[in-house]
A and B are shown apart, each in its own frame.
Chain A
Amino acid sequence: MAHPYMPSSAEKDKATMIAATGIVDIEELFEQIPPDHYAKRPINLPPGLRSEVAVHRHLTDLLRKNRSCAENLNFLGAGYWQHYVPAVCDEIAGRSEFLTSVWGTPSSDHGRNQAWFEFASQLGALVDLEFVGLPVYSWGAAAAFGLRMATRITGRSTVLVAGPADPERLGVIRTYCAGEDGEDAISVSVIPVDPATGRADVHAISQQLSPDVAAVYVETPNYLGQIETGLAELARLARANGSETVVGVDPISLGVLVPPARLGADIVVGTTQPLGIHLNAGGGVGGFIATRDEERYASQYPTLQVSICDTLTPGERAFGMTLFHQSSYGSREQGNDWTGNSVYLWTVVNAVYMALLGPAGFRELGDTILAGSHYAAEKLSRIPGVTVLWPDGFFKEFVLRFDDGYSVADINAALLAKNIFGGKDLTADFPELGNSALYCVTEMHAAADIDTLAAALTEVLA
């Protein structure tokens, strides 16, 4: 029987091609493979399910074992957040043209290139910077590439990472900086969070600003949700030391927060996931890199990027790749780091999301998140045995410390039994914060959801 994915699996079509090719048996075509290269035994997988009904049933049976944030109440965030995805985002994400494009030409895939340009332009507006590359794999990758750009710009080989650092992102940064053990490594030094404030320890960082420091990396809002108040001071100190300031940011905060570039950031990176991308079990990550439109920075991008340009028709606009030659596609190992397939379908969706929200949408969304998360923190702080570590100056996420008696793991297990996904357990990664968890509240949470959590926590801790 022919397979529905393969037109020429019909015998007649195969016979047509075999005859036209002048062979008798398809095996003749594999004559380049020496006999002793063949697999010692056939590939043993179950026979294919040629009926879509069977495939659908099989996958559905497996995936139904999952419990999702849709039918449970979720307070997990930690750098990866449950935001609302407008229906138009999904409509565009599902368009076969965007879904299946691969490379094309600027003329025949013009619409995709325009959407990419609109991503860069709108993201640039949010971060208040004029040069934006096409996204990379993830926020961690963007931060790491941004730091590697800084090492090339300064010719220095140490980077300082301001705590609190997400262990996931920090792991990626360390890997991209080639570890700590090699003779050619970029040295990554993490300065612990100031446990009194939940913010970067500006004084401790300034003590480490040696002539070898290429860059300081700091995030705002930071991993523990705090809005960094020392960013301008840090950027000033870094600049005085000849170091670049690389800032990681959650773009959804930028309707209400001053863009880091206004506070002295040189290279701004961050995540694209909040901009219209579903959680996707972690498969919604994406990272951006943005700077001032200066050759000093532009010449160091490892990414692809599209630029507006002319066509042979007077007055007509198109979008072509700029500085392609400095990518690994253009120059192999002589290029800046490397590039490849990234998350460009999400880039189109990000453009849709930013267009839908507009300036008022981002501002209102930011205020809704600020109000909801502070409402939740205040409400939860009244529960006996719960302390909000830093009750002010945060965006979307905040830290709860529980009195001794129950571990965060026990509490989360009890909440899970009540269909609640409790906050991210911080005890292993931030032991200095005690018995703590990171709670996330977004526009997805109604007041009743916070009340449900408060009641559940009260019961669990009683």
Chain B
Amino acid sequence: MIKEFHAARWSEPLIMEMGGPGRRGFVPPEPIADPGRDLVPDGLRRSIAPDLPEVSEPEVLRHYLHLSQQVMGMVGISLFGTCTMKYNPRVSQQLARQDFLAQIHPHQDDATVQGLLEIVHRFDLMLREMSGMDRFIFQPGGGAAAAHTHAMVTRSYFAARGELGTRREIVTSAQAHPCNPATAAAAGFEVITVPLGDDGLPSLDALRSVVSERTAALMINNPDDMGLYNPQIKQWVDAVHEVGGLCFYDHANFNGVMGRIRARELGFDACMFMLHKTFGVAKGGGGPAVGAYGCSAELEPHLPGPLVDLDDGVYRRRENPGGVGRVREYLGNLTEVVKAYAWLVAMGSDGVREAADISVLANNYMETRLMAIPGVSKSYPGMTKHRMEMTRYSLGDYTAETGLTAADVQNRMTDFGVDAFWMSHEPWIIPEPFTPEAGEAWSVEELDYWIDVLAHVLDEGRRDPELVRTAPHHQVVAKIDGSSLDDPNRWATTWAAYRRKNNLGSDGA
């Protein structure tokens, strides 16, 4: 049963087009005293006011409420694969707004932030228990930043051993998230990408053929974004260790294996958990986020600071001399750390295990239904074992039949209140890919609805391809015409640039 849906459509102007001269949205307090002179050094006072809108407070509120209504987010059903869309408990949102967290300055004396440091330390211990690592830090502001942290820890480790000059290569696989090769390259390493074999997995032989005394590290996720778990991952780690390299486990896809495996027991030297994915923290449209980075005792001296320790019942921050220094200012996005801690406290060992069970069960439930839909195939169908928490599918057959692409189908699905599905990171190994991830926070009815919408859209496309090709039709705006986006004469990241390139006045007319 497909439900009727239409997104809010306010035809909302830009804030820069709103308001009028003299309107005020915020009035600062009067100066404490009249200084009687200009306190700005000669020639440095701004004479031309910034071209900002003049809008009253209720107008600003309503404008951004309208914009919020024009965002689907998880108000619709979002099974955005690789991002583990799970419930973000509002209790911790509420707690995070209170003064005891929101009004803490990062340079406050340790004595004034004992509660906060205790949470950081407790959460560190809990993640150690889940991974087998010896120390976690929370400075990296996302998964990519955690991957970069690993690249920097790798540099520090080999520099201390006098081997940085020869340890020039970081190995990853074609299915690893782009942040792994990208951060390795930014840290000055050469990237070696192991291709996938016929079974969808990069082979141990292919790995062995590229590792050498030049190998600094392996950076890899497992299971991958297709739901394939590398059964030889321990041998991979051994092969890299045999040539003296370090092994980093990008645990982006942790949801299906949490409670069942420990990165350290598989031999990894370091790992990363995304608190904004697996640990219940909201996405925020892309942060604030945390890539919690954990490592072995051997790598701990190379961690960035500050670290949090418990000494004689008192929590203290300390520097880590000889380590990376800083990967980010202060201790990290601690508000998100507190939320993740609250989530883990609410879940416990039992809840974590159950979430993993449900997320893998729900994915396989979806797979059973999705594979019965004509036009849908799955990546590497010869790999017949059950997939983990997500499966990569292909609409390649459907595209051959109808000419409609996965992007067309994705757009049309949003017309039914279903958030866009994830296709695939680069490179696209599977034609016209899509990757739903059921997680544990969606009901059977919601999963069924998602599947029903997909089936409905595929049917529509067979009957009326134009309807799907020109979708969406029930969304805030129509499909974008992206032809201007990479044209320097037409792109405009600001209203000022847009007006200049289109010869418009300050009011846009």
Contact = CB atoms under 8 A, between A and B. Distances in A.
A308 interface: yes
B60 A355 contact: yes
B83 A103 contact: yes
Contact of A356 (B26, B261, B280, B364): B26
A222 to B, nearest CB: 13
B72 interface: yes
A161 interface: no
A149 interface: no
Nearest to B500: A130
The 3 closest A-B pairs by CB, nearest first: A340-B144, A171-B326, A48-B348
Interface stretch (B43-51, B205-213, B453-461): B43-51
A281 interface: yes
Interface residues of A, number: 213
A311 B27 CA distance: 38
Given A38-B260, A104-B71, A322-B491, A17 B365 contact: yes
A140 B328 contact: yes
Given A130-B497, A325-B486, A332-B182, A361 B103 contact: no
B50 A115 contact: no
A379 B284 CA distance: 43
B91 interface: yes
A401 interface: no
A3 to B, nearest CB: 5
B352 A45 contact: yes
Contacts of B354: 3, 6, 9
Interface in A285-320: 285-286, 293, 295, 298, 305-313, 316-318, 320
A17 B61 CA distance: 44
A442 B442 CA distance: 46
A204 interface: no
Interface string A313-357: 100111011111100111111010111111111111001101111
B494 A124 contact: yes
B60 A88 contact: yes
Contacts of A235: none
Given A32-B231, A63-B95, A82 B89 contact: no
A356 B60 contact: yes
Given A37-B234, A282-B330, A364-B28, A63 B179 contact: no
Interface stretch (B31-39, B241-249, B374-382, B394-402): B31-39
Given A109-B73, A348-B64, A320 B482 contact: yes
A310 to B, nearest CB: 4
A332 B104 contact: no
Contacts of A298: 488, 491
A178 B156 CA distance: 10
Contacts, number: 744
Interface string A115-133: 1011011101110111111
Given A181-B164, A447-B33, 11 more contacts: A9-B358, A30-B386, A43-B259, A99-B88, A108-B475, A114-B70, A141-B328, A175-B325, A255-B46, A278-B102, A346-B288
Contacts of B187: 178
Contacts of B89: 5, 52, 55
Contact of A122 (B52, B178, B440): B52
Contact of A131 (B31, B493, B495): B493
A9 B442 CA distance: 11
Contact of A309 (B57, B65, B155, B484): B484
A63 B329 contact: no
B159 A182 contact: yes
Interface in B142-193: 142-145, 147-148, 152, 155-156, 159, 164-165, 178-179, 181-188, 191
Interface in B327-354: 327-338, 341-342, 344-354
A346 to B, nearest CB: 7
Interface stretch (A73-81, A211-219, A453-461): A73-81
A360 B54 contact: yes
Contacts of A421: 105, 108-109, 112
Interface string A72-111: 1010101110101010101110111111111111111111
A52 B91 contact: yes
Contacts of A184: 188
A63 B46 contact: no
B106 interface: yes
B113 A281 contact: yes
12 contacts: A42-B349, A59-B345, A99-B282, A102-B283, A106-B480, A131-B494, A131-B497, A132-B494, A310-B483, A317-B477, A358-B55, A375-B33
A363 B48 CA distance: 11
B288 A345 contact: yes
B467 interface: no
Interface string A21-47: 111001011111110111110111111
B284 A340 contact: no
B297 interface: no
Contacts of A175: 152, 304, 324-327
Nearest to B64: A92
B464 interface: no
B266 to A, nearest CB: 6
A38 B258 CA distance: 11
B493 A69 contact: no
B100 A32 contact: no
Contacts of B294: none
Contacts of A43: 129-130, 258-259, 349, 352-353
A355 B15 contact: yes
A21 B43 CA distance: 74
Contacts of A452: none
